[in-house]
Structure 1
Amino acid sequence: MPTKLLLIASAAAILALPALAQQTAPQQPAQTIAPTAALPSASTPDNSTDAGDESAVEEVSNLNLGPPSPPVEYPGWARHDPWTVGPLAPRDAGLGDDAWGSASGAFLSTLMRRMHTPIASRWAHIALRNALLAKLHAPVGVNPVDWAAERAWLLLRLGEADGARMLVAGVDTDRFTPKMVQVAVQSALANADPSALCPLEDGIKKYDAGIQRLVPAMCASLAGQPDAASAMIDQARRYGRIGGVDLVLAEKVVGAGANGRSTTIEWDPVDSLTSWRFGLATGTGVVPPDRLLNGASTQLRAFQARAPLLSPQQRLPSAMVAAGLGVFSSQTMIDLYSAIYDSTDPSDLPNTDAWQLRQAFVGKDIDTRMSAIRKLLASGKGGLQKEAARALVARAATFIPPDPKLAKDAPELIAAMLAGGYDQAAARWIPVVNGMDNEDADRCWAMLALGAPNIADVGTGRINSFIRRDISKDRVRSALLVAGLAGLGRISTDTANSLNQRYGLSLGHVTSWTRMIDAAAARGQGATVLVLTGTGFQTPLFGRVPSAHLYHAVTALNRTGQGFTARMIAAEALSRT
């Protein structure tokens, strides 16, 4: 089943083109102009550097840099069609060729631009990313290049640096709009690739005055013009409006070029990481202090997780965040731990997480493997880290045979397998769960009733028993369970209505959002449904997702041929609350 296989492996496939990571999410873009780079404001320079004046622009421009290179001419066969930008075939994303349908591009752009990230569901994140990367014809009523920019901008805010880079690369630079220029700058910084700013120099001069003095200096150095680069940096230091660590980091990039100019970066006065600081530091192999990383957004942590100049061990803490979000797949985490294992001295391996992961797969017996899995699951301290730990051990959990003696471990084993998309392996535990009769049994049954490909016992008696024993606040777990079962069609509408009225589960709440996603599903607009699902899940905690939102999202996904995604999201709702 290609849809399911891609959803499980897509993160690895995309991350393999170097993995992923962001920052304090760059500030939201204006309605018609895309996000400006999240750089130090031109009007509020770093206190450690004197502000300059506008004459710096003329002085730098008067340097003897030689004649400009002739413009690149694209042969016809090499040009990209701006109307169909994307590296992923729609079918591989589980979508039809007309997944946007007749939806308004301007309306979809507004939805994407206003979406707060991260969203509650790891599986919704994965499916939304795939939809944004799909090579679908741009919807009506939108400039196709701006449409690609909006998709890339949302990917960046989701922490998907590589996905954004691929969309930006899918548009010929001579067709870049102001919005695409600004998103391309953010993409270059998110990917820690200062050289990617160089094709944007002309656009940066027009639309991003804050960095227009520094980008030419970095690019001149990378192009083997050290004297010109040094002169530009010196002029920027004397007259520019950007100073302090932001200027020093640009000088660091210049030093990485032909002149080998040495710099010392002082992080003590810095109180936050911007995309500029992250991109230039990481692009030169510099790791910001932990205090700055710990205070950074989840998007920036996901950016750092895929930074190629950092060692696997340096990337690991951020990789846990990326895996929890859905940026990294289960297989990507296994690959990262394998790299750490290979680079660790054998005498230091015992009791490391890399060693525990190896034991989880190849331990001499079930007890050894289960002990390792328990330790790895315990390393997830909650939230994203806990979900990352589940994704990490997901495949190892599939090799544990169902056994009533492991009933206490069953909830986490099942949650881990579903986090990795191993629904059939999780379903093998149904007979064991049917023999359990405690709170662990309720947890396991609820996840399997929603996530298993074959329907578990979902009789009204079993559901009522679950609800009566539910001790979650406002019976949120019961509401999400019934919402998921009804959305998947595993209980009838009459049964859902009866349970809703009896227990006050708020499934019947109707809003403009519920009407929009229902209408998109009725029209078969699978990609539109995914954008609306992200809009309906704008909270970092699943417990805050209204049960009506889960019901309508799961229903819409199921109706548009995305049943696997619908099941995984519904099961995730119960595993994370």
Structure 2
Amino acid sequence: MKKKMISLSLGLSGAALAAALVLPALAQESLLPEGFGKPADTPAPAPRPSPTPSSTPTPTSTPKAGTTAPSVTPTVGGSGTSAAPLATTAAATDEEGEDGEEVAPGTLKYDLPPGARRLLTRIGPLTPETGGLAPDAFGVRGQYAAAIMRGTRGTMASRWGQILLRRSLTSAIDTPATINGADLAADRAALLLRMGESIAARWIVQSVDYDRASPRLVSIAQQTYLANADPAGLCPYVPAGLAHGDEQGWRLSSAICSGLQGDAGPAGWAIGRVRSSGKISNFDILLAERVLGATGAGRRSTTIEWDKVDRLTSWRFGMATATAIPIPDPLRASAPAYMQGWTVLAPMTEMANRVAAAPDAAARGVLSSEAYVSLLSAAASEEEPGDALANQTSQLRSAFGAPRGADRYAAMEGLWGANPAQTYAAMVATARAAAALPVSTEVGDDPWQLLGSMLAGGYDRNAMAWAPKISVGSRAWGVLAVGSPQPLNGTTAGRIGDFAGSDDSADSLRSKFLLAGLAGLGRIDAGDTASAASDLEVNFGKQTRWSRAIMSAAERREPGMVALLAAAGMQGDWSKMPPYHLYYIVRALREVGLANEARMIAAEALVRV
């Protein structure tokens, strides 16, 4: 039966199958944007970048490829109060499993040998050997960590902050005694969904055996599989969802699952019950019937019209994407920001929609530089690509492969200046090309975008090779002063004053970020810090509940908690972020052994302000 369900679900969308054959496997790529901590001669297909001097220290740790929180909860429009599990799937409430474990009401008996079961005491796919954090990275205060996760919005100022948080949330971490492991997994997955990280959220959900899922995890599992446009993934959770969750929404899911099994009768019965309840909009029911039609269990053709639909919910996103139903552009434009990430990570989505969502996803850290370039290349290979896309990919080809360094740099500058709103995304796309550019190329005395592009992909040692050509006090100098693997000589209050003299950012925010980064990294002595802080009228000694929390986590040596609190302190955009937040974030990350991530975040601040 399982094989049949899988084969039927794969048949939901012909576009999905075609996309899987053409597009890069985004879900399988490394969480680390390529280049960071790798040898300097790795970029391809462009000429290999020149290695930095041998005296450059090798990074000691490797970052991985990124108010009340908005809840990712809307599904289909209504909720019931009574539980009515399907007779064919519900388990007896007092039944016990083979290992003596009680089976909770509304769940299925899970027939696996005890040795094959996954424990709730440690949840997550990434181990330290595969790039994850240590099991004790979040400490022992589980309810506290969960509360911070629930209070953290998905939109962060820093791409590197998102990459680090994704790595932390997907690590195999020990469950503190103060919280149920499934509930903590639910909060981890929910935050990942708000970050646009639909695939990483699925990793966490799938790390818990479905019969051990708590009611909260069952609810988040529904959102997760909708975000991944995978209706079949909902099926194991249907009994628990009917017993503990949104009854009418889970009835629609049960109908779809019956259709995937080839049972048209139960599917039609469940659809009829939902329609007669009047608690769910007819549009959402029609989407379920469209999925049933794709499985062959539907009894009639279903026409989907969006005329009276005013918002895009997770149910509408997931069902429409799974069946290749075009979603109107106005609805996509008004959808929550995290759906941009869901869109670009769903290979069955129309290519034009994925390309439109890609710049935001790349700037946020959902896509690595390599994945972004691969996506653009795949889109350009389709018949009759748009003029804008054709021009963009033509410039990318020149940036990577033009014979002369000057021509490659000119192509990069063209990409960086083409669309101001997408400048940083363009810098992410050119990261490998920038790292490959010969140091002998003429780039002017302030190539801050070139260095910013390298550091967006983690090519810190390649950026360091440009130090002799950088004018002291320039913006490029500031980027390199905080982003290089080793401190620059002569970093003083006077040099920061020179930098501030040409700072055109509002309220000298860029200069304040430079000082915050240098002080947090310990690259400027206390006297110079105090002098420059006085000149810039900034106070790094300010204490708040948040600052005390992140420094306490650093003292306890909890890198996961520090990463989570850093993300909480970087919500919104850079222009709204207080400089002392950056200081505490950089300092705390450095103290827990995440100095490389601290450097990348500090450099990104100077590039994006």
Q: Per the shorter chain, which TM-score range?
A: 0.7 to 0.9
**Segment of structure 1 superposing worse, 120-129 or 284-293:** 284-293
Say yes or no: does 1:88 pair with 2:120: no
For residues 433-512 of structure 1, the aligned pairs below 5 Å read 433-434=470-471, 442-457=474-489, 458-512=491-545
Alignment-mate amino acid for residue 74 of structure 1: L
1:446 aligned counterpart, secondary structure: helix
C-alpha displacement of 1:101: 2.9
**Which residue of structure 1 lines up, in the alignment, with residue 163 of structure 2?**
126
Indicate conservation of the 8 Å contact 1:341/1:355, yes or no.
no
Query: 1:505 and 1:221, CA in 2 relative to 1: closer, same or farther beyond 3 A?
Result: same
Looking at structure 2, the residues matched to 523 and 331 of structure 1 have their Cα atoms a distance apart, in angstroms, of: 36
User: For 1:383-426, what per-residue CA distance to the aligned partner results, in whole angstroms no more than 9, with x for missing partners?
Assistant: xx332211111101112223573217722111111111111111
Q: Mark the runs of 5 or more structure 1 residues left unpaired by the alignment.
A: 12-19, 29-34, 44-52
Alignment-mate amino acid for residue 328 of structure 1: L
Looking at structure 2, the residues matched to 116 and 255 of structure 1 have their Cα atoms a distance apart, in angstroms, of: 37
C-alpha displacement of 1:217: 1.0
Alignment-mate amino acid for residue 419 of structure 1: A
Indicate conservation of the 8 Å contact 2:108/2:211, yes or no.
no
C-alpha displacement of 1:344: 4.0
**Which residue of structure 2 lines up, in the alignment, with residue 359 of structure 1?**
398
User: For 1:447-473, what per-residue CA distance to the aligned partner results, in whole angstroms no more than 9, with x for missing partners?
Assistant: 000101122242332111112332322
Residue from 281, 296, 314 that aligns with 1:275: 314
Say yes or no: does 1:189 pair with 2:226: yes
Alignment-mate amino acid for residue 495 of structure 1: D
**Segment of structure 1 superposing worse, 236-245 or 286-295:** 236-245
**Which residue of structure 2 lines up, in the alignment, with residue 257 of structure 1?**
295
User: For 1:23-77, what per-residue CA distance to the aligned partner results, in whole angstroms no more than 9, with x for missing partners?
Assistant: xx9953xxxxxx6x3124427xxxxxxxxx999x98x969xx7999983312122
Indicate conservation of the 8 Å contact 1:487/1:554, yes or no.
yes
2:430 aligned counterpart, secondary structure: helix
Residue from 97, 117, 120 that aligns with 1:79: 117
1:305 aligned counterpart, secondary structure: helix
Query: 1:94 and 1:220, CA in 2 relative to 1: closer, same or farther beyond 3 A?
Result: closer
1:537 aligned counterpart, secondary structure: coil
Residue from 188, 197, 200 that aligns with 1:160: 197
Alignment-mate amino acid for residue 428 of structure 1: A
Residue from 339, 354, 360 that aligns with 1:321: 360
Indicate conservation of the 8 Å contact 1:217/1:230, yes or no.
yes
Count matched residues. Answer: 533
Looking at structure 2, the residues matched to 527 and 424 of structure 1 have their Cα atoms a distance apart, in angstroms, of: 26
Indicate conservation of the 8 Å contact 1:193/1:283, yes or no.
yes
Alignment-mate amino acid for residue 549 of structure 2: M
Looking at structure 2, the residues matched to 73 and 431 of structure 1 have their Cα atoms a distance apart, in angstroms, of: 65
Indicate conservation of the 8 Å contact 2:550/2:562, yes or no.
yes
Indicate conservation of the 8 Å contact 1:27/1:38, yes or no.
no
Indicate conservation of the 8 Å contact 1:225/1:258, yes or no.
no
Say yes or no: does 1:342 pair with 2:377: no
C-alpha displacement of 1:478: 1.3
Query: 1:6 and 1:248, CA in 2 relative to 1: closer, same or farther beyond 3 A?
Result: closer
Looking at structure 2, the residues matched to 42 and 449 of structure 1 have their Cα atoms a distance apart, in angstroms, of: 54
Looking at structure 2, the residues matched to 143 and 410 of structure 1 have their Cα atoms a distance apart, in angstroms, of: 51
Indicate conservation of the 8 Å contact 2:132/2:172, yes or no.
no
C-alpha displacement of 1:350: 9.3
Alignment-mate amino acid for residue 552 of structure 1: Y
**Segment of structure 1 superposing worse, 230-239 or 561-570:** 230-239
Alignment-mate amino acid for residue 348 of structure 2: L
User: For 1:455-506, what per-residue CA distance to the aligned partner results, in whole angstroms no more than 9, with x for missing partners?
Assistant: 2242332111112332322221111110100000100123212221232112
Indicate conservation of the 8 Å contact 1:26/1:38, yes or no.
no
For residues 43-62 of structure 1, the aligned pairs below 5 Å read none
**Segment of structure 1 superposing worse, 454-463 or 194-203:** 454-463
Indicate conservation of the 8 Å contact 1:341/1:349, yes or no.
no
**Which residue of structure 1 lines up, in the alignment, with residue 571 of structure 2?**
538
Query: 1:172 and 1:492, CA in 2 relative to 1: closer, same or farther beyond 3 A?
Result: same
Alignment-mate amino acid for residue 464 of structure 1: G
Alignment-mate amino acid for residue 497 of structure 2: N
Say yes or no: does 1:547 pair with 2:572: no
Q: Mark the runs of 5 or more structure 2 residues left unpaired by the alignment.
A: 1-29, 37-64, 92-106
**Segment of structure 1 superposing worse, 167-176 or 342-351:** 342-351
Looking at structure 2, the residues matched to 61 and 130 of structure 1 have their Cα atoms a distance apart, in angstroms, of: 39
Say yes or no: does 1:38 pair with 2:74: yes
Indicate conservation of the 8 Å contact 2:434/2:454, yes or no.
yes
C-alpha displacement of 1:259: 3.0
User: For 1:140-183, what per-residue CA distance to the aligned partner results, in whole angstroms no more than 9, with x for missing partners?
Assistant: 41111111111111111111111110111111111111111111
- Aligned residues with identical type, % of pairs: 38
C-alpha displacement of 1:128: 0.7
Residue from 255, 264, 271 that aligns with 1:226: 264
C-alpha displacement of 1:297: 1.8
Looking at structure 2, the residues matched to 544 and 348 of structure 1 have their Cα atoms a distance apart, in angstroms, of: 36
Looking at structure 2, the residues matched to 141 and 54 of structure 1 have their Cα atoms a distance apart, in angstroms, of: 29
Say yes or no: does 1:331 pair with 2:370: yes
Looking at structure 2, the residues matched to 324 and 337 of structure 1 have their Cα atoms a distance apart, in angstroms, of: 15
Looking at structure 2, the residues matched to 289 and 171 of structure 1 have their Cα atoms a distance apart, in angstroms, of: 35
Normalized per residue, which structure has more helix? 1
